[in-house]
Copies of this chain bind each other. A is one copy, B any other.
Amino acid sequence: MPFYNTGTMLAQALAYLEAHRERFLQELLEFLAIPSVSARPEHARDVHMAALWLTEHLRHIGLRSEVLRTDGHPVVYAEWRARDPHAPTVLIYGHYDVQPADPFELWDTPPFSPAVRDGYVYARGASDNKGQHFAHVKAVETLLHTQGTLPVNVKFLIEGEEEIGSPSLSRFVSAHVDLLRCDCVMISDSAMRALDQPSLVYGLRGLVHLEVTVRCLAHDVHSGHYGGLVQNPILALAQMLAQVKDEQGRVRIPGFYDDVRALDPEERAALMRAPYTEADLRRETGALAAFGEPEYSLAERRGARPTFEVNGIWGGYTGAGLKTIIPAEAHAKITCRLVPYQDPQRVAERVADYLRNIAPVGTEVEVRFGGGSPAVLIDRHTPVTRAAMRAAAATYGAEPIFELEGGSIPIVADLQRQLGVPIVLLGMGLPDDNVHAPNERFSIRAYERGIQASARFLLEMSACCAGGDRRNGG
């Protein structure tokens, strides 16, 4: 039975939200202006600045908030304790770090000078993830300022290393299990299908990253004097990479698909209900054609199949004009997305062994393992999930669909294991937000709906789960 009159509370919240729309937008713009690029050492101070800004903001709206050290970039932690001693606890996870913004020349407005155009906020991190976790912050403010309290306990765990694979957070969570104890984890770091079609993500791919270096010479040499006499590391690396996939995009590394689970018929059917089409793909990416394992649908390839992708390649002279050299070495950054039951370390070793085995003559190959995280599968049948479904349906006007997400949120598997509670992945972004790409954006309507969805979810949580043992779905 509900503890609160959620109808009245909701009406008050929606009125507050409407009255403060402009300020909520301005605050997000201020947050987005901080270039908190975790991958880049030269942005370390900006990353720290973003943590301080967010902590101060959470304190300002009434939460107990602090910046907590990790082995890397710090964590922003905040909490609000409800008056009701039996109130359930919702832990909201997000990340205040962002992807690097280059290539800068492809942005229509600078990535850290947030711009409002045509109903969108354009800035690096707008959708991934500042805009999405900040919507939860604004929902908490809204409920707190209209009711003087919250219907549930709320904890925020906003990290600063998601975009570099969350290398420090797992240790941080082990060291702070008591602090983080909760009844469910809410994460908004994904996209819904459309603003009128919400989706709940029940699977995330894992990730391993590697860097391969092919070295042939002690130093760059003149391509006239030595051309035709020595191995060229760029050509050698190209030959290696060319042997990783077959013509249709299947990975040829031995054992690469071992441990990959087959989808059950119910899942295949559910994924088919709102199919992701080649037309969607072309519109979102500008791809000339879909490409990849032809025996799987696009949705299955995205959610249920592991990948091998090269994220970057470099070697030799890449400036203007001409430099007639054979370079000493060439490099590639590689990530593999993983599906449930694949072990990141084992996949990394198989990739590394394969690359070393096919190294052409005259090369020295070095493969560095950069870390990884396993895939995640989430139970679709918990009361917490049902609370999220009701909140989403009421906010967006349609029953949410269940989706397998192709991206990774490295810490989710760890949170699942270490906290042992249900996790909800309710994306607020849209498929064409250009996350990890130039001109990243976040729809202002999606932002405002996200605040509403978050407020409704907190109210639903108080209604559905108060007093019971939420961990076991009571």
- A interface vs B, CB < 8 Å? 38-41, 99-100, 102-103, 106, 163-165, 191, 205, 207, 209, 216-232, 234-235, 237-245, 247, 249, 281, 284-293, 298, 301-302, 305-307, 309-328, 330-333, 335, 337, 360-364, 370, 405-408, 431, 434-439
Contacts and interface: CB of A to CB of B under 8 A. Distances in A.
A228 B406 contact: yes
Given A302-B228, A335-B324, A436-B222, A234 B310 contact: yes
Contact of A292 (B230, B315, B318, B405): B230
A406 to B, nearest CB: 5
Contact of A333 (B106, B291, B316): B316
Given A225-B302, A229-B302, 14 more contacts: A40-B319, A100-B321, A209-B322, A219-B434, A220-B436, A225-B407, A226-B406, A235-B241, A237-B313, A238-B241, A241-B242, A247-B361, A313-B315, A318-B333
Contacts of A244: 235
A163 B406 contact: no
Contact of A313 (B191, B292, B316): B316
A320 B40 contact: yes
Contacts of A240: 238
A292 B229 contact: yes
Nearest to A209: B322
A362 B314 CA distance: 22
Nearest to A215: B288
A288 B370 CA distance: 27
Q: What number of copies of this chain does the assembly contain?
A: 2
Contacts of A191: 225
B437 A291 contact: no
Given A221-B285, A235-B310, A312-B315, A298 B337 contact: no
Contact of A39 (B302, B319, B370): B319
A335 B226 CA distance: 13
Contacts of A298: 229
Given A237-B238, A434-B219, A438-B220, A232 B310 contact: yes
B217 A286 contact: yes
A34 to B, nearest CB: 18
A63 B225 CA distance: 34
Contacts of A163: 322-324
A231 B224 CA distance: 34
A230 B316 contact: no
Contacts of A225: 191, 302, 405-407, 431, 435
A324 B288 CA distance: 21
Nearest to A433: B222
B323 A316 contact: no
Contacts of A164: 321-322
A335 B322 contact: yes
Contacts of A229: 281, 287, 290-292, 298, 301-302, 406
Nearest to A289: B362
Given A229-B302, A232-B310, A322-B39, A288 B219 contact: no
Top 5 closest A-B pairs, CB basis? A218-B286, A224-B407, A39-B321, A312-B316, A242-B242
Contacts of A322: 39, 163-165, 209, 311, 333, 335, 370
Contacts of A102: 317, 319
A227 B307 contact: yes
A342 to B, nearest CB: 14
A312 B319 CA distance: 9
A447 B269 CA distance: 79
A305 B228 contact: yes
A437 to B, nearest CB: 5
A137 B443 CA distance: 68
Contact of A312 (B100, B247, B323): B323
Given A39-B323, A291-B229, A325-B437, A223 B307 contact: yes
A429 to B, nearest CB: 10
